[in-house]
Structure 1
Amino acid sequence: MADPNNGVMLAYQYVMTNEYGLQLNQPVTQLKKLDERNQIKILAIGKENTKPTKAFLLIGQTGAGKTRLLNAMINYIMKVKFEGNCRYTVKDEIGTMPKTKTESQTEFVTGYLIYQQPGMAVDCNYLIIDTPGLGDTRGSEQQHRIKKQMEVFLTDETFEISELHCLGFVVNGTINRSHAYLKEIVTEFESLFGKDTIKITKILATHTDDDTPAVSKVLDDMNIKADKLYTFDNGVLYCSNQGKKADLSQLQWNILTSSYEEFFEDMLVAKPCSLRLCKEAIKEKMNLERSLLMLKRHIDNKVKALLQCRNKRKLYEEYYTAMRCNEEFEGEETITVKERFPINGRFTHAHNCPICEQTCVYPCTSWSSAFCRCPSGEEPCDFCPCSKNGHEKEGETIESRQEKRHITNEQMRDKYEEAKTNLQNMEELMETLQKETDHHSKQMAIYIKTIVSHIERINEIARNPNRKATEDYLSELISNVKETMVMGTSDASDQHYITEMLDALPEQIDQIVLEVTSKKTSISDRFKAMTSYAKHNLNPFGRSGQ
């Protein structure tokens, strides 16, 4: 139906009449894309056509006025007049739970694809993408959820977003001092994008009609990289156009219209920025996270293997001494217990070996081939001797923990006789366990290499890379392993042994990192040098178990 204000042929439905007598209408939308799991949707407004499309992505803090900005853009595009009695409003994608004023009212990442129609103020299609507000009272968990949504939206080919014309950071124009938490939030989300998006980044300051608001200095102090600052006072959008204040409101409306004219004129000639670097930056960060997790598993498994080696030697020696003295024997042995845990979060599955009863590939995701590391082929797995094709794709990981178990003389005798049958002597048992630790040492070197390469590439292409050094990542990882393993054992001797081994590891890893980063050689030569170092210098760590 035609809008009585401007003659635009657009289907809409009546929502309500506000306190000023203005009729609020909601444009009828058609659902084009929907990801219910990640809460992402694209809605189309108007009749589809083949005109070029300009894409905007709006990011901002909760309470900055993103949704009102989006509504103002739509009203401008629809050429709504101040004197008319109708305004457009889009529905907040608020989910099912009521929100407070300090919580984001938008749960979905929602793209509004507005098809150009006769009578509109623009001559092309616009895709305006609204995102959940950052920094609400639900804290870091909410931030991670929104970041996951953004990663999926920007990388999943389902949504067909290959370029942007504007990356708009929406800020409240009334802030007059730097906020550390706001800078932290913006910095974190800037890290999703490649360096080339700086040229399309715009600051959209709301709640102000001042061309040079106080917020501009705050943004300079916060060092937020942007190409241009626009100011909008969207408060007049749904205000009365009658009465004593009508003239003032008309003036404010004209100023607002001029602001959007400037913005959309700039966007009309804006060159698009490909999301290739953005997709690669997200991919590299995903792979860095994956490599750190795999390295942690190898360190964890190596320490467990060494601990088992040490305790088996001690147990057999104690039994052999008791047997020589013709004494009854009672002791404790260390056994490995396997447990399954469901996978939650951004990663969707793991690959588990049913023969070895362990998780060999995790994390893994089904988003696209760029992120998936599903194993295939008959060659042996990196984690076990079985072929990759023999692994099962499952929604849970298999974790191992060690616990002490009381063992009697009779049980020990059976174990001892079995050991004598299967292995000629204790040294062969130790050699078998040593091979396992050597395997983990080699894999540790491989993952350290990949971690270094991911960090180097992130620093090359990311708009706001995390400047944390490789050693810092690994130090945090080792501390986490130490805390988990020490808490998981009640034996003071074992706790001391675990601490001693892990305290020795950072210095050895630092040497590997130095070998990798200090030489400007080919990847192949760097890898050979590193694996050679691991073979000769990680073994002292392994020999500490003997």
Structure 2
Amino acid sequence: MSRETTSSENMETDLSNAKGLSVAQIIKDNQSRKIEDGSNENLPIFKLHLVETWQHIDGFCRRSTFGKNIPKENKTIMMIGATGAGKTTLINSMINYILGVQWENDFRFVLIDEGKQKSQAESQTSKITAYQINHMDGFRVPFSLTIVDTPGFGDTRGISHDQKITAQIQEFFSARGGIDHIDAVCFVVQASLARLTHTQKYIFDSILSIFGKDIAENIIVLVTFADGKTPPVLEAIKVSQVPCSTNESGDPLHFKFNNSAMFATNKKSGGAKASDCENFDQMFWNLGFSSMTKFFTSLNMMQTKSLSLTQEVLKERQQLEVLVERLQPQINAGLTKLNEIRETYAALEQHKAEMDANKDFEYEIEVTVPKQIKNTSSTFLTNCQTCHFTCHDKCAYANDCDKYMCSAMKNGKCNVCPGKCVWNVHFNQ
């Protein structure tokens, strides 16, 4: 049975009155709410209080914050992986580690409430969300942490949906006032995979296309559903020659997790069979604890990558994409003009005798002229009034005064229209 109860909404708890309590206990009592009661198999679950501090105008990405913002170093990681890899559960496991939860505690936390699970064929995560976890005394890590959670690739909606996710990630990291650095890209993958699927290869290619090849040394493999053995997926990654950080042995830098014990009950029960299950659960808990310690130690030593250059690269790439996309209409227009010239030449040849005799003559050819067509789509257009040309047919800017920021513009002039006109003769029509 599930019910929801709310703890105190006071986010500015006076911790001085909580002597003897762990930070996890304080957060449970003051900065979370219970979303599930305990049972014979699982412990009570509490969801952290989050404050949404930013959301994209299109609603596909957002930023949520936990705790009071303090002047503390902030590490940023992005979690990415195929649908069903266990990414959301791993993020929740990270939170329990960071907040200092012990195996013996009679509660667990979640950052992301998966609620009633839908089909595993579709990604549980629908939006890109940056969770900023502000540091508190008692955390197991010495810094604040921002976790960027992304929708899973490779679900039943196909490659077009994967391409949409990639475009959204691009937009998220180039948004104004967004994230300006990244410390690690965490590729979440199941241990048992003997070879990488096309989806997994696509994920690596997408990341490189967004951040550039330099990000490879910041790509870490997080292996889920792992046991004590060497995960087969490591060999698959090596065979596929996908770029990522490596360890001293030349293997992909990886950390093993088995999250099956994260929410399992730790209450002692009778019987040999029950005792065996408890031992396995605690073993997997200890495995996860050890891997988390190694992961965050490694993260702390990684060189932070600034995204200011990435944003410039993304802007340049968007400009090139718009330029290439709008080249085709200009090529078609050029071919049409060439055909008109050929028809004119043929007509003049036909009337050569009249021309030689200096006589008047008439000829008729078809001429193409620009024509305005009503925009019935929901997208914005950038049209040049001088060239009578659509320079960008999927513009993000509705207001004409913002057209200087359109992807078709560079250094105040249009990079696409035939006349390379100044930005302020372009309008949304």
Q: TM-score, normalised by structure 1?
A: 0.62
Q: 2:258 aligns with which of 233, 256, 259?
A: 233
Q: Distance in 1 between matches of 2:198 and 2:217?
A: 24
Q: 2:427 aligns with which of 389, 393, 397?
A: 393
- The one-letter amino acid paired with 2:160 is E
Match of 2:357 in 1: none
Is 1:194 paired with 2:194?
no
Is 1:89 paired with 2:105?
no
Q: Distance in 1 between matches of 2:301 and 2:54?
A: 28
Match of 1:260 in 2: 292
Structure 1 pair 339/349, CA: closer, same or farther in 2 (3 Å)?
closer
Deviates more, 1:251-260 or 1:266-275: 266-275
Q: Distance in 1 between matches of 2:416 and 2:195?
A: 55
Match of 1:12 in 2: 32
> Cα RMSD between the aligned structures?
3.7
Cα deviation code 1:263-293 (max 9, x no counterpart): 1122233331222443343233222212212
1:115-514 counterparts in 2 under 5 A?
115-159=134-178, 161-210=179-228, 212-227=230-245, 228-242=253-267, 243=269, 244=274, 245-311=277-343, 333=366, 335-336=368-369, 338-340=371-373, 342=375, 348-353=380-385, 357-360=388-391, 365-366=396-397, 372-374=407-409, 383-384=418-419, 388=422, 391-394=425-428
Cα deviation code 1:408-430 (max 9, x no counterpart): xxxxxxxxxxxxxxxxxxxxxxx
Q: 1:43 aligns with which of 64, 71, 82?
A: 64
Q: 1:104 aligns with which of 123, 137, 150?
A: 123
Structure 1 pair 280/368, CA: closer, same or farther in 2 (3 Å)?
farther
- Superposed displacement of residue 25, structure 1: 0.9
Q: Distance in 2 between matches of 1:375 and 1:259?
A: 47
Q: Distance in 1 between matches of 2:111 and 2:392?
A: 44
Q: Distance in 2 between matches of 1:375 and 1:220?
A: 41
- For structure 1, the 5+ residue unaligned runs are 322-328, 396-546
SS of equivalent to 1:240: coil
- The one-letter amino acid paired with 2:97 is Y
Structure 1 pair 181/376, CA: closer, same or farther in 2 (3 Å)?
closer
Are the equivalent residues in 1 in contact too, given 2:23–2:137 (CA < 8 A)?
no
Structure 1 pair 389/249, CA: closer, same or farther in 2 (3 Å)?
closer
Are the equivalent residues in 2 in contact too, given 1:77–1:122 (CA < 8 A)?
yes
- Superposed displacement of residue 179, structure 1: 2.2
- Number of residue pairs aligned between Structure 1 and Structure 2: 383
Q: Distance in 2 between matches of 1:46 and 1:86?
A: 19
Structure 1 pair 260/140, CA: closer, same or farther in 2 (3 Å)?
same
- The one-letter amino acid paired with 1:340 is I
Cα deviation code 1:114-153 (max 9, x no counterpart): 1112222122111011001111111122112111111111
- Superposed displacement of residue 370, structure 1: 7.6
- Superposed displacement of residue 31, structure 1: 1.1
SS of equivalent to 2:177: helix
Cα deviation code 1:303-356 (max 9, x no counterpart): 1112233445667888999xxxxxxx99984554625364979x8541331x65
SS of equivalent to 1:157: coil
- The one-letter amino acid paired with 2:176 is E
Are the equivalent residues in 2 in contact too, given 1:376–1:388 (CA < 8 A)?
no
1:44-63 counterparts in 2 under 5 A?
44-63=65-84
- The one-letter amino acid paired with 1:184 is Y
SS of equivalent to 2:122: coil
Q: Distance in 2 between matches of 1:258 and 1:368?
A: 52
SS of equivalent to 1:226: coil
SS of equivalent to 2:123: coil
Structure 1 pair 378/277, CA: closer, same or farther in 2 (3 Å)?
closer
Q: TM-score, normalised by structure 2?
A: 0.78
Q: 1:32 aligns with which of 44, 47, 53?
A: 53
Structure 1 pair 250/65, CA: closer, same or farther in 2 (3 Å)?
same
Q: Distance in 1 between matches of 2:413 and 2:293?
A: 62
Q: Distance in 2 between matches of 1:180 and 1:313?
A: 53
Cα deviation code 1:234-276 (max 9, x no counterpart): 1111122233222221222112111111111222333312224
- Superposed displacement of residue 113, structure 1: 0.6
Match of 2:3 in 1: none
- The one-letter amino acid paired with 1:358 is F
Are the equivalent residues in 2 in contact too, given 1:5–1:81 (CA < 8 A)?
no
Q: Distance in 1 between matches of 2:254 and 2:36?
A: 34
Are the equivalent residues in 2 in contact too, given 1:204–1:231 (CA < 8 A)?
yes
- For structure 2, the 5+ residue unaligned runs are 1-7, 9-17, 246-252, 354-361
Q: Distance in 2 between matches of 1:185 and 1:79?
A: 32
Match of 1:454 in 2: none
- Superposed displacement of residue 157, structure 1: 2.5
- The one-letter amino acid paired with 1:167 is V
Q: Identify the structure with the greater helix proportion.
A: 1
SS of equivalent to 1:279: helix
- Superposed displacement of residue 201, structure 1: 1.3
Q: Distance in 1 between matches of 2:394 and 2:316?
A: 14
Q: Distance in 1 between matches of 2:133 and 2:173?
A: 19
SS of equivalent to 2:373: strand
Match of 2:4 in 1: none
Cα deviation code 1:477-522 (max 9, x no counterpart): xxxxxxxxxxxxxxxxxxxxxxxxxxxxxxxxxxxxxxxxxxxxxx
Structure 1 pair 341/139, CA: closer, same or farther in 2 (3 Å)?
farther
- The one-letter amino acid paired with 2:67 is G
- The one-letter amino acid paired with 2:427 is K
Q: Distance in 2 between matches of 1:212 and 1:23?
A: 33
Structure 1 pair 124/389, CA: closer, same or farther in 2 (3 Å)?
closer
- The one-letter amino acid paired with 1:393 is F
- The one-letter amino acid paired with 1:239 is A
Structure 1 pair 195/392, CA: closer, same or farther in 2 (3 Å)?
closer
- The one-letter amino acid paired with 1:254 is N
State the percentage of identical aligned residues. 25
